[in-house]
Amino acid sequence: MKIITRVDEMQTQIKNEKSAGKSIGYVPTMGYLHEGHETLLHKARRENDILILSIFVNPIQFGPNEDYDSYPRDMDRDEQAARNAGADYIFYPTVQEMYQDDVSVSVLVKDRTDVLCGRNRPGHFDGVATVLTKLFHIAQPDRAYFGMKDAQQVAVVKGLVKDFNFMVEIVPVETIREEDGLAKSSRNINLLEEERSEASELYKALSSGKKAVLNGETNPESVISLVREHLENHTHGKIDYVEVYSYPELKPLSQLTGTIIIALAVRFSRARLIDNVVFTI
């Protein structure tokens, strides 16, 4: 496994791999890898000749009230996880290497961002789309792997690839869960003991909404009410949102049909948890 910090060196390596007819699987991350990331890496390893992991904490996707400097970093741990997954390369650039001086061109995401978590994070997905545009050009992957736990990000990335005609297949990977259904996240460690028990109710609430839809409920407001009621009756967390949209378009629906997402966010005392289910009627 090689750790590469320079853009030109990474591009040279990719050029050589592609000249040899190798397929490229790519997992972009901000590091501090957990089991969800490892699942992406293992899937990419199985499906491609070459596996690239990038680790880059992207400053331009952090808002003014989001502390970029305190974002967790542990390169030694990440390197070991990458080795265990069979990665061929870690691309680990500095901010200066990625952005040089000032960014003269950036990507503006015009759709799929004014709902769910994006509603309260203006500019966040512009930063995500800008850095991924750069990373896709650098890594030139055949396939790029993203976790469905952040389904809004997957929707935005799908739009980016479609609109800018990137020759990369976006591979969504199902959310990895604990035995009781809680979506795995580095934030879970911040839950108090009682909150950890209640946190499993998030997926149960989503599942109850999904079951209602599959049983014939077509009114999105009824589904939202059902999910909210479950959360209110089984947790002490503060509900940030429960929303239902088409997917990946993230558009409101008057009647539920096609592929939809039911998504929620709940704040506990020291952790804000998100989760979702995406399914087709």
- pLDDT tens track for 209-253: 999 999 999 999 999 999 999 999 999 999 999 999 999 999 999
This prediction's pTM: 0.93
| Residue 277: band (very low, low, confident or very high) from pLDDT cuts 50, 70, 90 | very high
149: how many CB neighbours lie within 10 A of its CB?
19
In this prediction, residue 209 carries a pLDDT of 98
% residues pLDDT > 90 (the chain): 91
Numbered residues of the known binding site: 30-37, 61, 147-150, 153, 176, 184-187
pLDDT band at 141 (very low <50, low <70, confident <90, very high): very high
Domains and CATH numbers, the chain: 2-173 (3.40.50.620), 186-275 (3.30.1300.10)
Residue 133 has a pLDDT of 98
What's the pLDDT tens digit per position in 147-194? 999 999 999 999 999 999 999 999 999 999 999 999 988 788 889 999
User: Exposed e or buried b for every residue in 206-228, given b needs 16+ CB within 10 A?
Assistant: bebbbebbeeebeebeebbebbb
Cα(first)–Cα(last) distance of the chain, in Å?
44
Give the mean pLDDT of 203-207: 98
β-strand pairing of 238-246 with 259-267: antiparallel
* pLDDT for 85 beyond 90: yes
Q: Which residues are annotated as a binding site for ATP?
A: 30-37, 147-150, 176, 184-187
DSSP letter string over 5-55? --HHHHHHHHHHHHHTT--EEEEEE-S---HHHHHHHHHHHHH-SEEEEEE
Residue list, annotated binding site for (R)-pantoate: 61, 153
User: Is the pLDDT at 13 greater than 80, yes or no?
Assistant: yes
pLDDT of residue 189: 87
- % residues pLDDT > 70 (the chain): 100
Residue that is written with structure tokens 């005609």 in the block: 165
Picking from 123, 152, 155, 117, the residue whose alpha carbon sits closest to that of residue 241 is: 117
Structure confidence at residue 185 (pLDDT)? 85
Is the pLDDT at 70 greater than 90, yes or no?
Answer: no
Q: Known binding site for beta-alanine: residues? A: 61
Q: Spot the catalytic one: 37, 42, 230, 234.
A: 37
Q: Does residue 37 carry a catalytic annotation?
A: yes
pLDDT at 245: 98
Per-residue pLDDT at 69 exceeds 90: no
Predicted pLDDT at 263: 98
